[in-house]
């Protein structure tokens, strides 16, 4: 009986491998440096990508009595964490997610039997009441990462953060191969149901997910215009799918929205039942985007009903001149300096709402 | 831990540094064994115990079989190995599937049975390491291999991190001899290993994830009728994606092992240039197809018992091969379709091989094209989450919805077509040889250019840490 077959050995092409590898590494290093220089020259700076890992890391910091911010991109840009901390006496944890529906995150906090803290929940009705699709999936993806965060993913994130803090071209939303290909001027075929493009890079983010609008976007110019005019298509719900009758689709949407109201009431009651608080906030919006949102979801609709059903306090920016007086650079978010001032103005209203 | 992650880059650099710094061969193997468990435990640490227990058990069963004097004893120890390994695989991978099917069968018989769904987490790569470990006990039972006396070497053989979670499935007879002594030094081994790792990562990160995954996901997740162009683009995208994803993993694994002085077998040999389906299976997932051939098809009788019986054997093997990939009937249909193709090929291949025209260039290209298109149809069942989705996509592929929905941007269609064309041309040109032979002939400038391009594209793509498709199996 053979003890084994003879030792198997793979062939190796006969080439001057040492020299080839050295030249390759020199060329790759040069190309990478050139790409970094180019990225910085056109306005990019080192900043963190808003990945599910970064979100999961913050979610992991939530303690039973934490002050937590949930919602869409508006509280990310509009709230200054230092301002909230000095005003409310606790360092908030930033869990708002751009382009997301906040409900899954709110429900996740409600499902945590130990959580009895304070939640500041941003409401953009078109997003919060989205029955499914990418807005809900973005939140679910982040939650999934938090609940199943492996050791390998944690260490990969820690290493990624170190690189992103120093390298400008590491921009997952903008400078990846895929994003660059999307910028090719290739016209789409007629009737192609292709979604609107996402906004380009216009913010910086740190390890606490503190977000600031870049100077280039805060000032009038091509970037600001591009971001501004990207919102209307993004805030327009997609047409009903062709393969579902319109009536059936509208009925199912109606049912989903009703369910979202009921589930939100449940989530708020659970948190309040443990001694926690939830306060809903409608953050500033302006220009054509405000007209669009007001037309699609008038205040008398979802906002009023949400407060009535949940019994939770709410702050609607238009009710207070000091909160409504901002000229938003790109209609949807405040600039960095504006956010500091806005937070200081919002704190008394938050205190009042939470004291109720 | 994923090959396409920063964690792996650091892990591999540390392991390589440690491995080549240590003098003693035994210490090197100890390091690799510990590193392999760290690699695996980075997903879910408790499953490392499962891996250790199952492989230690096969080691001792191998010894028992080697020491057994009577065939009945040997059979008994093999039986224990089969029951425990397949039982473990069955529980973790097929537990819920079996329950659901039992429930459906009971309902057909008028019995309303509502079992609680088992909350089972599937250990990554369990299908791979279970089969790998089983081949050892089977080889020892059949007398093809002497049982190893070293528990450490055996644990290392099962757990060796480059191939642990997604293959290639390594046979003990190929790997254990490499544990006896360090490989003799060879010029270029490590650099060639690094080149293969670059190629594998390029296939995964750039081609599979960045250029193909989006079109494939859009089409297979869409709930409505699609235009023919969209359906075909989605299926072509998946055909290329699964190749680049899986072959990328295998290439990385082979490269990483080479950097540490170990040789793993080829897992792919330009499969989309196959002429016919038996040729396809000689080129696709070779370590699994040869394993199924040697440990299932031949023991069933192979083609020694007449045409009819050999066709039945093929269908059994492909059915099991399909289910090996996943606990769903769609995988079984994927396997059975390949079985049907193989049976049909047996019938027509005789006259076809005799025909002179079949050897002409155009006929060969045509036969490659026919094989590829037929394989694409099977991928629909492999990728679709259920039969209605598969049926909808197949109907769209044959033009059943001329006014269906167009959901893919033109850029994405072009991207898929360019990558697919490049893939088919590359496979066609390389089909008669090996990558090593081709690289031996390349001018140095082309080699440096290709390597630089691949590394540059990997850095530019940045990656998103997507898991390899075959991890779920």
Nearest to A6 among B177, B224, B444 (CB): B177
Contacts of B24 (CB under 8 A, 6+ apart): none
pLDDT band at B120; cut points 50, 70, 90? confident
Contacts A182 to B, Cβ<8 Å: 411
d(CA A294, CA A300): 10
ipTM of the complex: 0.86
Does A164 score more than 90 pLDDT? Answer: yes
Across all residues in chain A, what is the average pLDDT? 92
Contact B406 A153 (CB under 8 A): no
Q: Mean per-residue pLDDT for A302-329?
A: 95
Contacts B456 to A, Cβ<8 Å: 28, 31-32
3-state secondary structure of A150: coil
Tell which residue, A200, A197, A203, has the closest CA to residue A223. A200
| Best residue of A24, A145, A150, A185 to probe chain B, by most B CBs closer than 10 Å | A24
Tell me the pLDDT tens digit for each residue of B270-325. 999 999 999 999 999 999 999 999 999 999 998 888 888 999 999 999 999 999 88
pLDDT band at B470; cut points 50, 70, 90? low
Amino acid A308: pLDDT: 95
d(CA A59, CA A71): 13
Angstroms from A20 CA to nearest CA on chain B? 6
* Higher-confidence position of B337 and B350: B337
Percent of chain B at pLDDT > 90 equals: 73
Contact B224 A242 (CB under 8 A): yes
Check if the beta carbon of residue A163 is closer than 8 Å to that of residue A46. no
d(CA B33, CA B150): 13
d(CA A275, CA A280): 17
Residue B188: cis peptide before it, omega within 30 degrees of 0: no
User: Does A306 map to a domain?
Assistant: yes
For chain A, say whether B169 makes contact (Cβ under 8 Å).
Answer: no
Nearest to A152 among B42, B210, B457 (CB): B42
For chain B, say whether A188 makes contact (Cβ under 8 Å).
Answer: yes
User: Does A243 map to a domain?
Assistant: yes
Q: How many CB pairs under 8 A join A and B?
A: 179
User: Does A10 map to a domain?
Assistant: no
For chain A, say whether B13 makes contact (Cβ under 8 Å).
Answer: no
Contacts A192 to B, Cβ<8 Å: 406-410
Residue A356 burial (C-beta neighbours within 10 Å; 0-12, 13-18, 19+)? exposed
Catalytic residues of B: 325
Angstroms from B342 CA to nearest CA on chain A? 31
pLDDT band at B112; cut points 50, 70, 90? confident
Percent of chain A at pLDDT > 90 equals: 75
Percent of chain A at pLDDT > 70 equals: 98
User: Does A197 map to a domain?
Assistant: no
Check if the beta carbon of residue B181 is closer than 8 Å to that of residue B382. no
d(CA B82, CA B65): 13
Lowest-confidence pick of B60-74, B118-132, B385-399: B118-132
Amino acid B415: pLDDT: 96
User: Does A134 map to a domain?
Assistant: yes
Amino acid A2: pLDDT: 42
For chain B, say whether A6 makes contact (Cβ under 8 Å).
Answer: yes
For chain A, say whether B264 makes contact (Cβ under 8 Å).
Answer: yes
Tell me the pLDDT tens digit for each residue of A103-156. 999 999 999 999 999 999 999 999 999 988 899 999 999 999 999 998 989 999
Q: Residue-wise over B346-376: b if at least 16 C-beta within 10 A, else e?
A: beebeeeeeeeeeeeeeeeeebbeebbebbb
User: Does A260 map to a domain?
Assistant: yes
Contact B263 A9 (CB under 8 A): yes
User: Does A27 map to a domain?
Assistant: no
Structural domain that includes position A79: 63-146+220-355
Q: C-alpha distances in angstroms, A325 versus A80, A120, A190, A200, A231?
A: 18, 21, 43, 27, 21
pLDDT band at B469; cut points 50, 70, 90? low
Amino acid A260: pLDDT: 96
Q: Mean per-residue pLDDT for B393-421?
A: 94
User: Does A156 map to a domain?
Assistant: no
pTM for the whole structure: 0.90
Check if the beta carbon of residue B220 is closer than 8 Å to that of residue B389. yes
Tell me the pLDDT tens digit for each residue of B454-466. 999 999 998 665 5
For chain B, say whether A16 makes contact (Cβ under 8 Å).
Answer: yes
d(CA A290, CA A127): 14
Amino acid B467: pLDDT: 59
Contact B143 A11 (CB under 8 A): no
CATH at A108: 3.40.50
Across all residues in chain B, what is the average pLDDT? 91
For chain A, say whether B356 makes contact (Cβ under 8 Å).
Answer: no
Most confidently predicted of A6-15, B4-13, B92-101: B4-13
Lowest-confidence pick of A40-49, A182-191, B150-159: A182-191
Contacts of B401 (CB under 8 A, 6+ apart): B225, B226, B227, B228, B395
Does A316 score more than 80 pLDDT? Answer: yes
Amino acid B420: pLDDT: 97
Contacts of A314 (CB under 8 A, 6+ apart): A123, A279, A280, A281, A282, A303, A306, A307, A353
A-contacting residues of B 178-237, CB under 8 Å?
A: 178, 180, 183, 186-189, 191-192, 194-195, 206, 210-211, 214, 223-225
Nearest to B223 among A27, A172, A241 (CB): A241
Contact B210 A177 (CB under 8 A): yes
Tell which residue, B238, B230, B217, has the closest CA to residue A189. B230
pLDDT band at B149; cut points 50, 70, 90? very high
| Count of domains for chain A | 1
Contact B410 A192 (CB under 8 A): yes
Contacts B10 to A, Cβ<8 Å: 155, 159
Contacts B176 to A, Cβ<8 Å: 4
Amino acid B464: pLDDT: 62
3-state secondary structure of A353: helix
């Amino acid at each position: 009986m053979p003890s084994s077959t003879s030792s198997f050995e793979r062939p190796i092409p006969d080439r001057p491998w040492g020299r080839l590898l050295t030249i390759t590494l020199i060329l790759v290093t040069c190309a990478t440096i050139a790409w970094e220089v180019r990225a910085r020259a056109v306005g990019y700076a080192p900043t963190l990508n808003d990945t599910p890992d970064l979100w999961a890391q913050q979610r992991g910091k939530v303690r039973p009595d934490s002050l937590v911010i949930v919602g869409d991109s508006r509280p990310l840009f509009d709230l200054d964490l230092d301002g909230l901390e000095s005003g409310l006496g606790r360092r908030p944890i930033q869990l708002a997610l751009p382009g997301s529906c906040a409900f899954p995150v709110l429900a996740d906090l409600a499902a945590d039997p130990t959580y009895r803290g304070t939640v500041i929940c941003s409401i953009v009705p078109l997003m919060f009441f989205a029955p499914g699709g990418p807005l809900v999936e973005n939140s679910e993806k982040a939650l999934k990462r938090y609940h199943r965060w492996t050791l390998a993913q944690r260490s990969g994130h820690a290493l990624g953060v170190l690189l992103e803090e120093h390298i400008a071209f590491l921009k997952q939303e903008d400078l990846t191969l895929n994003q660059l290909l999307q910028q090719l001027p290739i016209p789409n075929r007629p009737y192609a149901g292709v979604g609107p493009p996402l906004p380009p890079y216009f913010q910086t983010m740190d390890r606490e997910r503190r977000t600031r609008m870049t100077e280039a976007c805060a000032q009038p110019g091509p970037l600001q215009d591009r971001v501004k005019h990207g919102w209307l298509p993004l805030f327009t719900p997609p047409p009903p799918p062709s393969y579902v009758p319109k009536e059936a689709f509208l009925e199912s949407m109606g049912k989903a929205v009703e369910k979202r109201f009921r589930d939100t009431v449940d989530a708020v009651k659970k948190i309040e039942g443990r001694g926690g608080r939830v306060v809903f906030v409608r953050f500033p919006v302006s220009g054509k985007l405000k007209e669009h949102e007001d037309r699609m979801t008038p205040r008398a609709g979802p906002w009023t009903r949400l407060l009535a059903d949940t019994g939770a306090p709410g702050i609607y920016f238009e009710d207070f001149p000091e909160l409504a007086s901002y000229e938003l650079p790109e209609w949807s978010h405040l600039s960095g300096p504006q956010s500091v001032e806005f937070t200081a103005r919002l704190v008394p209203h938050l205190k009042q709402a939470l004291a109720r | 831990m994923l090959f396409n992650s920063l964690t792996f880059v650091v892990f591999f650099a540390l392991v390589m540094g440690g491995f080549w710094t240590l003098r003693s061969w035994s210490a090197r193997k100890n390091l690799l064994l510990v590193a392999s468990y760290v690699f695996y435990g980075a997903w879910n640490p408790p499953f490392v115990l499962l891996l250790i227990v199952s492989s230690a058990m096969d080691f001792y069963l191998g010894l028992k079989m080697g020491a057994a004097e009577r065939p009945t004893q040997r059979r008994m120890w093999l039986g224990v190995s089969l029951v425990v390994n397949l039982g473990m695989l069955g529980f973790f991978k097929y537990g819920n599937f079996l329950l659901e099917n039992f429930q459906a069968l009971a309902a057909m018989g008028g019995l309303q049975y509502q079992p609680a769904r088992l909350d089972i987490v599937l250990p990554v790569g369990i299908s791979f390491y279970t089969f790998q470990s089983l081949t050892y006990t089977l080889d020892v039972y059949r007398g093809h291999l002497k049982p190893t006396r070293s528990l450490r070497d055996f644990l290392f053989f099962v757990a060796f991190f480059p191939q642990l979670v997604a293959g290639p499935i390594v046979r003990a007879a190929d790997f254990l001899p490499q544990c006896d002594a360090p490989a003799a030094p060879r010029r270029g081994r490590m650099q060639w290993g690094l080149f293969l790792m670059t190629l594998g990562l390029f296939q995964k990160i750039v081609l599979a994830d960045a250029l193909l995954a989006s079109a494939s996901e859009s089409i297979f997740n869409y709930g409505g009728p699609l235009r023919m162009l969209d359906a075909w683009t989605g299926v072509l995208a998946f055909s290329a994606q699964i190749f680049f994803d899986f072959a990328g993993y295998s290439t990385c694994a082979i490269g990483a092992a080479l950097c540490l002085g170990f040789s793993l077998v080829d897992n792919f040999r330009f499969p989309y240039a196959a002429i016919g389906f038996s040729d396809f299976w000689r080129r696709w997932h070779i370590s699994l197809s040869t394993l199924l051939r040697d440990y299932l098809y031949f023991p069933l009788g192979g083609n020694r018992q007449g045409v009819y019986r050999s066709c039945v054997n093929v269908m059994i093997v492909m059915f099991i091969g399909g289910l090996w990939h996943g606990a769903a009937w769609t995988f079984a249909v994927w396997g059975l379709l390949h079985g049907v193709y193989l049976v049909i090929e047996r019938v027509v291949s005789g006259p076809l091989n005799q025909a002179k025209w079949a050897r002409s260039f155009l006929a060969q290209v045509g036969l490659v094209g026919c094989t590829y298109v037929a394989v694409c149809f099977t991928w629909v069942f492999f990728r679709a989450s259920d039969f209605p989705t598969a049926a909808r996509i197949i109907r769209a592929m044959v033009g059943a919805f001329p006014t269906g929905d167009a959901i893919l941007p033109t850029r994405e269609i072009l991207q898929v077509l360019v990558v697919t064309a490049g893939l088919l041309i590359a496979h066609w040109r390389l089909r008669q040889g090996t990558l090593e032979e081709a690289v031996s002939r390349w001018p140095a400038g082309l080699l440096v250019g290709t390597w630089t391009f691949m590394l540059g594209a990997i850095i530019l793509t940045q990656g998103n840490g997507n898991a390899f498709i075959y991890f779920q199996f």
